Structure 1
């Protein structure tokens, strides 16, 4: 990184605009920034840091106001820096947040911080970003350093490194943690400690689970718990666990011994149950045999009684069989008897219909006319009907002609007045169309300004809305500012509470450790088994849970602060946008402009609407004129056609009337004559059909009677009535057959029972004593139940013990790897934290890493310290813990100074002022080299050394200046910030900062 140009406006002590050409100063290689105390020498460095990172170094960053108090009220503070980073020429323009006078009214308003990042490409500046976060991220990635690292590497604050040289390991560790990324190692330490606690809890839970299973085994067996129960250790935070859980290993053997005794009891009860089962089976067999014999004797006696009852029903069965036989024969003749009755009824109905039909045609023919006469009369009438059908079409045509003439007459009466009306309308419409077209042309000219009026209204409405929203936003902005300030205070208070609680925890840690001491046990701090004066608790000591709650509250407060800041920034951005839209005019003036624009818009809109209405009316009038002309032509054509058609129809009407009068004869109409002839022909046809149907029915009746009489004689019946008397329904026949079948089945079953050899043999034997046999069976069953119950209880207990032993084995097997993992985690956590005996130097992992970085810094510093001290002094890194270091595991960060003149190592606090300066300057330069390499080797083309030269004698100052000259190798520029007069003579290239009542100024002399 090389600086080229810096322009400062209203920043720090500089009230105006000061431009610093670093290219001119860098050409000399070594330049001096000098001025009186308080003139603003360090503010130049602040401006450089602010341009790059948006903040200033050290404690000055906590000060909110960076704007110069000497600047005029309306001057905006800004810093513009041109620099080259990794070959890219950049220009950064930053402005801090400041209070400016309001544009309207009195008071001030807050202008937010702004940034503009540009890059010089192809002869012009090209914008890269205007976002604060985006610009800061890009600069940090290019430099490869944070703001803290940049201030430590490029600006070399000597006062801080003198303190770093003399500080203890705790303070030195804090500085190194800010510069080097060691968070990952601290997180490893925490992760290992958490892992140790987690594995300890896991092993303890698994050991407790195994102990719980052992308790259930003891309860199942009815025995007391094992004498040596496993002691479940509770691992304490950051402490090694008690002895691993060795007692858990004894539980499986104890459970196996207990289960073996219960297996012997199970075998004995199984033998007793087997003997009782054999006795029960013998008693059950005797009882079953007796019950079988008694049942057979009862069944034989019942069969004898049923055989006597069946003999009494023999005569009834014979009668039912005869009746079923007669019904079967009657079923074969009965359909023929029923058919004779149906034929007789049909013949009677046919004779009645024939008589009625002959009476209907009695007026047309003689009373006893034959069938042939009737048929000839029917044919004559149908022939005449066929002849008249042709005349029937002429009658229909005559009626149609009459209707058409009536319609033509009505149409002529309608069209003649319509023709007169249309002629009158055509005389008026052309003048109306011409007048309407003239009005439309005038309205179109007036409506041409509508678009401009609408645009003017929209612009005025947009400005008015922005002005009104701006007024409302001012109140919201004030409220958001108040909420943000309250959130900042709350976040700071929460953070201070966390720090206070942690300090109280650390201060009371001695009392906590003292409370854990036990007589005869070694102290975890000093290792002694005697505790003559343990620490006492001076007050209430917060626990870790309380600190964690406070930290969570602090995190929540910080989140609330960030959210409030984001909301405030959003409102400020909205306010700036609304100001750009509304301009300087107030809402009332904009409202007046809007009212005028709306009046102009209303007038233009009205004229546009009038033009649209007139255009539509003109279109309608033109269409009406065209329609009326077409209507006139259509009416003229229709009148001519109707008159010609009416003449043709009148001639046809006369001809058809004469032909129809001749055809109808004596009937009133052709239709009446046709209807009469059709009715007479239909009546004659019906009479012929009725006479034929009557003859057929009489023949069928005679044939049915002969068939019925022959069938009845063949089946043994004398008359048809006898046949109908023997008929039975299907339900009655089925009932008789069921009764006969039941009697036959019962007779067969009785024969089978009486012929069964087992029943005959049982009937010859004496009756058994069932009561005595049942009593013996109950006694044997009770004995078997008692033995089986005892055996089941023993079996269930053994099965339960086997199940619990398996679960105990699983619990112990699950516990073993957890115990092993805990042992490994405990050892690694102790090694990483420096609290394990294997860590001989008691150095934590993060301290060890920082110690390695410190060794690199010491090696780089000694190269320059040897030259500045004439080879006398050398810095030495040591892992020994200093007397003032209270933090356990914080060793590995000690510094000593080796004096080549005495051959001894000294504490840095014993160095004189000048010796401390050259040593701390060497340390600062060495740290700058290491941090630069750590950041990726970004080249530092310009660096600054701030103060401390006043403590050097002339010879030592020469050595220091030689070292600083050496820093210029490779084109590097070094700026020395000092007010020492001797340096002004040694360094000709100077940036002079002068202070005055109106603010400071800067000037370059080369």
Structure 2
């Protein structure tokens, strides 16, 4: 991945558009990005990261305010970055979310502009759009580069401060950073999943174990219940699992099988006894049934004789009823013609009476004289009445129309009067509006003149406020700068004193190294320097010379390091305070506060007058626009009202003329009635009476003809029946209740006779041949009771035996089921126990417990392997920077009870010892941190798929190096350019400016920062 061009506008400290040509800088391979504190060096790196990923690195992303405060309020922030990946070239344009002044509100409110993105690719000589969505562009760029934002900021932009902390950090802190870079969360997911699998396997095993124990308890309960019911006779055999062990005793299924065999033997004996008791019960029940049958048959024969005598006595009462039913049946044969003739005679009389009444009502009606010339109904009377009714109905509609026309005429006259009044009111309103328009036009001209100075007054207020703020802040800033400068001078002196003291102790200890080694020599032990076992002249300290210990030298070094850090912090604070005071003075901060306050008050008063005039002018213009619109609307309304009034008067006159014509037409159709409604009602009623009279006369004639026919049919039906007339038939007929009572009593008597005959036949057939059917010996009730007691006792003994058989069979079946369930449960438990034990062992190992002697988790093990790779890659560059003296070594040893795996030490080839990284000096720590950052970048690059990084940035930290170390570091950085790589160094160290000709300089100003870059002798802006 190579960055070719970067453009920034309204971003960070950059107000105007700034363009950086990295290809031009990259021709030298190594370039310097420098500038004063706060100028915007870091903002250049932020712009690259934002263009590629839509976010800036680290904590700066949380601020979410990326737009420059120096830019014009209407200028949109924008980043353009052109880069290549392999052989493909891309351009990404991004604009973060920002607030712009609203145009309609005069800048008093803001409108949120959403973030925008455009990704293009250079294909066949033209830019082709790839995506315009923020998320899609970020995803595609991540896939192109093979790195996410976190990896990019660690690989392409090497943050020295973070790696100095990483170098001295403990295992926990290193683990956190390595997790972010190498994404080992999947191994932590494996640890969590194994824990969940172990919990699930344990739960399944416990459930299977509980099922086995539950089956044993149920079997034990079954055996105890049986023995409790059977008493002590079977209490000698112990229940399965009920001994000294738990229910899960050894081979409990065999104990269940033994007890089941005992139950089967007892069940067989019980069934044999049950069969014998069944035979005895059948004999007793058969004897009881025979006695009960003999007694029932004797009692039934006695009752039969009594019922037969009663039936013969009832025959004398039934004979007259049977004769009356026979005569009734003969009369019922001709009942139909008689009933029909009687009904026809009644209908004929009723209809003739109705016809006479209908004709009388018709002749008495008010219109009878107009339509009837005689009491008889003439032909075509209904048609004549219908024609006159149609004419009267039409006259009724005309009467209704006359009323509507009169109402319409009155309404139109009223509307015309109201419209003329509205036209007069509109004319008066027009006069008033024209007078108001003339007055407001003169006032608007004066207000426009006063409001013209609003923009100038606003600029005066802004300048006066800026001056007052600068004056107010300058005094405190100057005092702070003086105090910070004094503190920096004191810190520098303290650092120099302590560093000199430490160097003196270090030199003394080096001078005393021979004496220190000699003090540790032993007789016949080899010398660690020459290897000899004889020590004729061991070195000693000089007279009065005190030995300098390693602890004293290290303590002095630590003091010097802390003093150096305090001096650097004080120096940075002093520089920042001086820059702040100088900026405030350049903005007029050393002016008179009283004069500035007076100028600000005058400018604000002038601005307030201009704003008031502008507001009044706006209201006046709005009112003038409203008057113009109202004048047009009022004039149009007046004209419309006059037109509508004339139209209403014309419609009223037409309605009155139509009403007069219709009144003449209706008067001719009334025939003396007061109104058409009365005429219509009379004709409708008269037509209805005529139709009713005609229908009544026709019905009477039809009824008379039907009566004659039915009388002839009745004479024919009576011939040969024995009945002389219809009256004889009526007399012979029985009423329904009497007929039903006679019929029921006769049938009941006959049915009783039939039942008695059947009972007699049954008695004769069932009687023994040697027994008289007229009388039989009936068994005694005491004999039957004794036989019943014997049968009940036999039945009770059989039921008890059957219950015992069912109990034994049920217990045997349940025990068989428990044996099968227990075998299945034991078979299920074995593999579950094996799986649980296996998962327990694996889980303990990956969690750093159990037999894991290093106490190292799976994720820590993976990170330890990565850290070992990082240390090896970093050592290649650290050896070059330190002349082969130092190497970074990974350690997986434990410290006390803490987990192992993420230790880091430095190996000193001069002494052959390994020591903690915290013992390095400031310059050595910088070189080790730089080497560690570069090594980590190499490993992350390989982790990301071997992405080729052609553009690299190295952040601040060169100020802590001496000349020789700086030379070695520069040689190592020069090596990064191999293969065409471009390396940018971020620093404001003066010596770096002399060593690196290609420079990108950030210039800070009151109106924002600008960029220029120099290439050797030429300086380009």
The verdict on a shared fold, with TM-score over 0.5 as the criterion, is: yes
Distance in structure 1 (CA, Å) of the matches to 2:345 and 2:60: 139
How much is the aligned-residue C-alpha RMSD, in angstroms?
A: 7.0
Distance in structure 2 (CA, Å) of the matches to 1:33 and 1:348: 135
Q: Is 1:739 aligned with 2:741?
A: no
1:254 CA displacement: 0.8
Distance in structure 2 (CA, Å) of the matches to 1:46 and 1:109: 29
Query: Map of 1:423-438 to 2, 5 A cutoff?
Result: none
| Residue 997 (structure 2) aligns with | 988
2:83 aligned residue (71, 82, 85): 85
2:308 aligned residue (302, 307, 310): 310
* Deviations, residues 959-1005 of structure 1 (Å, cap 9, x unaligned): 43233223223443322344555544322233557899999987644
Q: Is 1:295 aligned with 2:309?
A: no
Distance in structure 2 (CA, Å) of the matches to 1:704 and 1:259: 99
2:154–2:937 Cα contact (<8 Å) kept: yes
Q: Is 1:883 aligned with 2:895?
A: yes
Distance in structure 2 (CA, Å) of the matches to 1:965 and 1:50: 28
| Residue 242 (structure 1) aligns with | none
1:346–1:635 CA distance, 2 compared to 1 (3 A): closer
Distance in structure 1 (CA, Å) of the matches to 2:706 and 2:207: 113
Distance in structure 1 (CA, Å) of the matches to 2:1008 and 2:339: 148
Q: Is 1:226 aligned with 2:244?
A: no
Where does structure 2 lack aligned partners over 5 or more consecutive residues? 225-237, 350-372, 438-608, 670-689, 1017-1021
* Deviations, residues 904-928 of structure 1 (Å, cap 9, x unaligned): 8776566666555444433322222
Distance in structure 2 (CA, Å) of the matches to 1:82 and 1:592: 45
Q: Identify the range of structure 1 (790-799 vs 140-149) with the bigger mean alpha-carbon deviation.
A: 140-149
Distance in structure 1 (CA, Å) of the matches to 2:333 and 2:991: 158
Q: Identify the range of structure 1 (124-133 vs 956-965) with the bigger mean alpha-carbon deviation.
A: 124-133
| Residue 265 (structure 1) aligns with | 263
| Residue 199 (structure 2) aligns with | 197
1:828–1:338 CA distance, 2 compared to 1 (3 A): closer
2:118–2:133 Cα contact (<8 Å) kept: no
* Deviations, residues 935-969 of structure 1 (Å, cap 9, x unaligned): 45555443232345456565554443233223223
| Residue 973 (structure 2) aligns with | 964
1:868–1:959 Cα contact (<8 Å) kept: yes
What secondary structure does 1:205 align onto? Answer: helix
What secondary structure does 1:968 align onto? Answer: coil
Q: Is 1:608 aligned with 2:669?
A: no
2:29–2:980 Cα contact (<8 Å) kept: yes
Distance in structure 1 (CA, Å) of the matches to 2:165 and 2:662: 123
What secondary structure does 1:84 align onto? Answer: strand
What secondary structure does 1:883 align onto? Answer: coil
1:44–1:887 CA distance, 2 compared to 1 (3 A): farther
1:753 CA displacement: 0.7
* Deviations, residues 532-589 of structure 1 (Å, cap 9, x unaligned): xxxxxxxxxxxxxxxxxxxxxxxxxxxxxxxxxxxxxxxxxxxxxxxxxxxx999998
Distance in structure 1 (CA, Å) of the matches to 2:8 and 2:337: 138
1:585–1:792 CA distance, 2 compared to 1 (3 A): farther
1:858–1:926 Cα contact (<8 Å) kept: yes
1:298–1:919 CA distance, 2 compared to 1 (3 A): closer
1:257 CA displacement: 1.4
| Residue 839 (structure 2) aligns with | 825
Query: Map of 1:148-187 to 2, 5 A cutoff?
Result: 148-187=150-189
| Residue 924 (structure 1) aligns with | 933
1:119–1:267 CA distance, 2 compared to 1 (3 A): closer
What secondary structure does 1:211 align onto? Answer: helix
2:298–2:777 Cα contact (<8 Å) kept: no
Where does structure 1 lack aligned partners over 5 or more consecutive residues? 232-246, 352-383, 451-583, 647-674, 713-718
1:851 aligned residue (857, 860, 864): 864
| Residue 536 (structure 1) aligns with | none
Distance in structure 1 (CA, Å) of the matches to 2:706 and 2:56: 134
1:393 CA displacement: 13
1:990–1:792 CA distance, 2 compared to 1 (3 A): same
1:62 CA displacement: 8.1
What secondary structure does 2:183 align onto? Answer: coil
Query: Map of 1:396-795 to 2, 5 A cutoff?
Result: 597=622, 601=626, 604=629, 608=633, 611-612=636-637, 614-615=639-640, 618=643, 621-622=646-647, 625=650, 707=720, 729=739, 731-758=741-768, 767=779, 769-795=783-809
Distance in structure 1 (CA, Å) of the matches to 2:931 and 2:383: 141
Distance in structure 2 (CA, Å) of the matches to 1:752 and 1:963: 136
| Residue 485 (structure 1) aligns with | none
Distance in structure 1 (CA, Å) of the matches to 2:779 and 2:210: 71
1:904–1:619 CA distance, 2 compared to 1 (3 A): same
Query: Map of 1:24-173 to 2, 5 A cutoff?
Result: 25-33=25-33, 82-86=80-84, 87-90=89-92, 144-173=146-175
1:8–1:19 Cα contact (<8 Å) kept: no
| Residue 369 (structure 1) aligns with | none
Question: What is the number of equivalent residue pairs in this alignment?
Answer: 747
Q: Identify the range of structure 1 (192-201 vs 731-740) with the bigger mean alpha-carbon deviation.
A: 731-740
1:309–1:617 CA distance, 2 compared to 1 (3 A): same
1:631 CA displacement: 9.6
* Deviations, residues 128-187 of structure 1 (Å, cap 9, x unaligned): 999998887777666554554333223323344344345454333222112121111112
1:902–1:621 CA distance, 2 compared to 1 (3 A): same
What secondary structure does 1:969 align onto? Answer: coil
What secondary structure does 2:158 align onto? Answer: coil
Distance in structure 2 (CA, Å) of the matches to 1:119 and 1:348: 111
1:56 CA displacement: 6.7
1:53 CA displacement: 6.6
2:810 aligned residue (785, 796, 799): 796
1:77 CA displacement: 12
1:737–1:824 CA distance, 2 compared to 1 (3 A): same
Distance in structure 2 (CA, Å) of the matches to 1:693 and 1:1002: 131
Distance in structure 2 (CA, Å) of the matches to 1:932 and 1:84: 21
1:944 aligned residue (936, 940, 953): 953
1:794–1:722 CA distance, 2 compared to 1 (3 A): closer
What secondary structure does 1:271 align onto? Answer: helix
Distance in structure 1 (CA, Å) of the matches to 2:204 and 2:859: 27
Distance in structure 2 (CA, Å) of the matches to 1:918 and 1:861: 10
2:983 aligned residue (951, 974, 977): 974
Q: Identify the range of structure 1 (192-201 vs 218-227) with the bigger mean alpha-carbon deviation.
A: 218-227
1:592–1:737 CA distance, 2 compared to 1 (3 A): farther
1:861–1:923 Cα contact (<8 Å) kept: yes
2:322–2:742 Cα contact (<8 Å) kept: no
1:2–1:940 Cα contact (<8 Å) kept: no
Distance in structure 1 (CA, Å) of the matches to 2:611 and 2:811: 96
Distance in structure 1 (CA, Å) of the matches to 2:73 and 2:385: 113
2:53–2:141 Cα contact (<8 Å) kept: yes
Q: Is 1:324 aligned with 2:322?
A: yes
1:337–1:720 Cα contact (<8 Å) kept: no
Distance in structure 1 (CA, Å) of the matches to 2:707 and 2:180: 135
* Deviations, residues 690-717 of structure 1 (Å, cap 9, x unaligned): 9x999999999999998566999xxxxx
Q: Identify the range of structure 1 (766-775 vs 46-55) with the bigger mean alpha-carbon deviation.
A: 46-55
* Deviations, residues 784-803 of structure 1 (Å, cap 9, x unaligned): 33333333333333333334
1:875–1:896 Cα contact (<8 Å) kept: yes
* Deviations, residues 453-509 of structure 1 (Å, cap 9, x unaligned): xxxxxxxxxxxxxxxxxxxxxxxxxxxxxxxxxxxxxxxxxxxxxxxxxxxxxxxxx
1:591–1:1000 CA distance, 2 compared to 1 (3 A): closer
* Deviations, residues 205-226 of structure 1 (Å, cap 9, x unaligned): 3323432332232222216672
